[in-house]
Chains A and B, each alone.
Chain A
Amino acid sequence: MQQYLLRRLLMTVPVLVGLSLAIFASIRVVPGDIIVSLTADAGNVPEEQKAALREKLGLNDPFVVQYVNWAGGMLRGDFGDSLWRGSSVSREIRRTLPVTVELSLIAFAVAILIAVPVGVVSAIRQDTWLDYVGRLFSVGALSMPDFWIGTMAVLYLSLWFGWIPPIGEGFRGLLENPSVNLQLVALPALILGLRLSASGMRITRSAMLEVLREDYIRTAWSKGLRERSVIMRHALRNGLIPVITVFGAQLGLLLAGSVVMETLFGLPGMGRLTLEAVQLRDYPVVQANVMIIGTFVVLLNLLVDLSYGWLDPRIRYR
C-alpha cells in the first residue's frame, strides 16, 4: 500500500508539469493580451506605449524564460502578481478559494444526501412509483440548466415573496458573519447540489441494481436477513464504488468554480476569478488557478482510488 501511494504521488509530478506547460502555452495562444484589456477604455494610447508596457511586464521575453521564471516562482510559493490588479495572485486566491471550497462542500453534501438514498430506494423498489418519482426527479434536474434554475429562483423569490438572499450585503466570510454567509451560500449550493444529485442518483441506482443481482445478495436473502441488513451491510458498500468515482470527478468540477452561481449570487469565488482572468488575459492568475485546481483534482482522484480498498477489502494495492 505504501509503495502504491508513493508511486501514485510520484506520478503526479509529470502530470502537473504537463498541466503547467499546457496552461502556460494555451493561454498565450489566444489572441490579445493584458495590454489590450488595460488600455481598452482609455483615451488614446499609442502603440509605442503599449509596446513599452509589454516589455515592462516581461511579455516580450522568450517563452522558455517566461515559463522558467513562473515555474520557479511557483515552486517557491510565489505565484506572481496579477497583471490586471497589480496585487499578489496568492492574495487573490486566498480570498476566493475559501468561497469556492465552502460552496463546493455544501453542494457536495447536498448531492450525496439526496443522490444516495433516492438512488438506493429507486433500485430496491424498481418499477414502483417510488422508482418512477426518483427517475423523474433525476431527468428533470439533469434537463434544467443551473443558470436557468438560479435565475428563476432569484426572480420568483423576489416577485412572490419580496425576498432573495442578502446579496446586497456583499459576501461575508463564514467566520466574519455566519448568518449572512450561510444565507448567501445556501441557495446556490442547493441548486448546484440538486443538479449533481441527479447524475449521482442515476449512477447509484444503476450500481445498486447490478449488485442486488449478485449471488451473495441472493444468499443473504435466502439466509433470512432483514432488508436493511442486506442493503446496508452487503449491497451498498459494493455499489458505492462507481458512485464514489463519479462524485469524486464532480467534486473536482465543483472546485473549479461555478461561474454561473457565483455571478448570480455575487459570490467572489475561484470560478469568477478564473473566468475574468481568462477574459482579460491575466496570465499569472489563470496559471495559478489552473495549477491549484489541477493539483486538487489529482489528489482527489488519488483519494478516490484509495477509498476503493476501504470499501472492498478484496482490492489490495501493491
Chain B
Amino acid sequence: MAAAWLAACRASNNSSSKSPAEAPAATAQAQALKGLEIVGRQYLANAPDFSLEPKSGGVFRYGFNADPPHLDPVLTSSYAMHAAVTPVYNRLMRGKWAQELNPFNPWKVEVTDDLAQSHEVADPQTYTFKLHQGVKFHNLPPVNGRELTAEDVKYSFERFAKTGVWTESFKVVDRIDTPDKYTVTIKLKEPAAYFLTSPLAENAILIHSRELVEADGDLKKRAIGTGPFTLKEFTPKTRIIWEKNPAYFRTGRPYLDRMEWTIITDLAALLAAYRSGQFDAVAGGIQRNELDGLLKTNPESVVAISDPNFSTFQWAFRMDQPPFNDVRVRRAFSMAFDRQVMIRSGVQGDGQVMTNFPFNEVLDKQPAAADFGPWYQYNPGEAKKLLEAAGYPNGFECPADYYVYATYLTSWIQIAEQQLAPLGIKLKINAPEYTTWVERFLGGKYEMSALGFASPNVVEMDSWTYLYMHSKSPKNAWHINEPKVDTLVEAQRRELDRNKRRAIWKELWDMELDQVYRPSVPAARGIGYHSPKVHNVLSNQAHLYPTYGNAMSEIVWLG
C-alpha cells in the first residue's frame, strides 16, 4: 500500500501507544492548515506549511520497495511500473492533485485537463479535446524533441485499445478522429459516464510516440514522453533516476532538478536508511508502535495518518456453490467477526470499519460502524441461528486462501479462525505464494473462500461497481452473479446525471450490505512519514503518490 502523505489541522506530537477501544472517527470536518484545508487526514507531527512558495532545485531521494518489470504501460499495470514512467509522460486528462483540491480531500477524484487544454462533450457519445500547442517530446532519439500532435494521442489510444492490459477499457470507443493537428475527437459506441475519468485520466494511459514503439518494438526498454522529467537511468532491482525536463510545457515546473529512487524491498532497511539520512522519504509507512522510536531519532519528521474511505480487503465466497450460495450463511459469517477486536489487535487501533467501495461516493457523511447494517455487527448468537436455519447447525469446514499483502492480514485471518470456531465453522487457512494466489483468487478458483483484495488504484466508481461486480467481468473474483446487480452496474455506466448515478450506487451499496456478497475486514489507517524538507506531497485517490501517482512529482519541491 502506498505510503500516506497527509496534512492536518494542528501539528501534534500526540503519539499515543495505547489503542482505543474503538478507533477514533476520521476527521470528517474540514481542517485548516496554513495554506490549505484538509479533510480526512491528520498530522501526528510537524504539519507542513502549504502557504510557502515553492522553491526550485534539489534532488529528491526516495527509498522505493518495488521493482518495475519494465517501462511499458500498455503491457503491464504493475504499480512499480506506474511509479517509474508516470513522471516521464502526460495523460490527456488527469486527476487533480494537492492544492488543486481545496479543501484537500484524499477521497475525491476530480478530473482536469492535462495535455488537453480544453475539452467539450458535445453529446454523450462525442468528446472533443483541444491540445496544448507547443508541447514537445523529450529531446532524445528517435523522437528528438518534436512537437506532440493529435496523431500521437490517437496512436496511443489505439495501441491501448488493441494490445495489452487496457483493451477492455477502450471497448466503448467507436473511433478516434484528428480533424486538425491539435484536436482529437473520440466517438463512443454508447454513453459512458465514466469515460473522462476511466480510462482517460487513469495514471497508466500515457501518451507516447509512434517512433519509439517502432524503433524498439514496444516501450519496455525506454521511456520518452512529454512529461516533467526525463528518465535518466533505470537499473532493475537497483535504482531509477529522473532529471528535470527543461522544456516542459508547464513553465516553471517541475521544481525538482532530479529524483533518485533506490529500490530496497525490505521495509526495516528502508526505515533504517531514512533514520540515517540516506533518504528524504521511503515507501511502506510505519505502525503506531514504531512512531515513538522514529520521532526519537528523527524528531523533525513529518508524520501523518490517513483515513480510508473503503476497505481494500474483503472476504470472497464461492457463491456459485453451497454453502455460500445461501445468503444466511454469508450473513452469519460476517456477524461472527468482531471487527473492533481486529482493529485493536491487527493495527493497534488504527483502523475503521468500511466496506468495498468508497463511502464518500454514496453517502454524505462518514458512516459509523453501526451504519453498516445488522450483518456487519458482531452478533455470534444471531449468526448461530442463521446457520441453523440454513441447515448448518454444526457449522462446516471452510478452506480459506489469503496472501500476506500486509502483516496485519495474518492477525486478522487468525482472529477470524477463532471467531468462527464457536459457530462450528472450521477455517482451514492456506497461504499460497503470490502467483498461485493470484491465479486462484483472480480466477475465482479458490476452493470455498478467500480473503480477497481489490486494488486501491481505482479512480472511477465504474471500476468499483462494473469491474468488480458484473457477472461477466473478468475481474469479478467474488462470483457475484445477480441479475439485478448486472442491471444496476450497467445502468450506472450510461447514466450521465451525477445525482441519478449516485442513487444507483447507493442501491448497490445497500444490496452489498444486505446480501453480504463480500464482507469486508476493517480498513487500516496508514501512517506515513517524510523529511520536513519535502513539500507538496498529498496522496489522494487519483494519485496514490508516489506509486500510482508519481506524475504528482511535478509539484513536489524541496526547501
Residues on A lying within 8 angstroms of B by beta carbon are 30-33, 36-47, 49, 84-87, 92, 95-96, 151, 154-155, 157-159, 162-164, 166-171, 263-266, 268, 272-273, 276, 279-281
- CB-based nearest A residue for B293: A159
Q: Are B237 and A85 in contact (CB under 8 A)?
A: no
With A39-B165, A40-B438, A162-B277 in contact, is A87–B70 under 8 Å at CB? yes
A6 to B131, CA, bound (A): 71
Judge whether A85 and B273 touch: CB under 8 Å.
no
Contacts of B463 in A (CB 8 A): 43
> Are B168 and A154 interface neighbours, CB within 8 A?
no
Complex CA–CA separation, A292 to B102 (angstroms): 57
Also in contact, A42 and B268, with CB within 8 A (given A86-B220, A158-B275, A170-B239): no
Between-chain CB contacts (< 8 Å), 26 pairs: A31-B440, A37-B435, A40-B438, A41-B78, A41-B457, A42-B77, A43-B475, A44-B474, A45-B168, A49-B167, A85-B70, A86-B70, A87-B221, A154-B268, A158-B275, A158-B297, A162-B277, A163-B276, A166-B278, A167-B264, A167-B278, A168-B279, A264-B266, A265-B269, A266-B262, A281-B435
Bound CA–CA A46/B166 (angstroms): 10
Q: Decide: B218 and A159 in contact? CB cutoff 8 A.
A: no
Chain B residues near A (Cβ < 8 Å): 61, 63, 67, 69-70, 72, 75-79, 165-169, 199, 218, 220-221, 235-239, 260, 262-266, 268-269, 271-273, 275-279, 293, 297, 432-436, 438-440, 442, 455, 457, 463, 467, 473-475
In the bound complex, CA of A215 to CA of B176 (Å): 93
Minimum CB–CB distance from A93 to chain B (whole Å) comes to 12
Give A246 Cβ to nearest chain B Cβ, in Å: 30
Q: Is the CB of A164 within 8 A of B475?
A: no
Contacts of A151 in B (CB 8 A): 266, 268
Residue picked from A44, A84, A164, most chain B C-beta under 10 Å: A44
Residues of A within 8 A of B237 (CB): 96, 268, 272-273
- Which residues from chain B contact A41 at a C-beta distance below 8 Å? 76-79, 455, 457
Closest residue of chain A to B221 (Cβ to Cβ) is A87
Which residues of chain A come closer than 8 Å to B266, judged between CB atoms?
151, 263-264, 266
Find chain A residues with CB under 8 A from B269 CB: 154, 164, 167, 264-266
Q: With a CB–CB cut-off of 8 A, which chain A residues contact B436?
A: 30-32
| CB contact between B165 and one of A36, A43, A85, A164 (< 8 Å): that residue | A43
**Complexed CA–CA distance, A272 and B67 (Å):** 11
Judge whether B238 and A171 touch: CB under 8 Å.
Answer: yes
B529 to A: closest C-beta gap in Å: 14
How close is B544's CB to chain A, nearest CB, in angstroms? 13
Question: Chain A residues with Cβ under 8 A from B167's Cβ?
Answer: 45, 49
Known: A44-B475, A159-B275, A168-B278. A268 touches B435 (CB 8 A): no
Query: A44 CA to B239 CA in the complex, in Å?
Result: 30
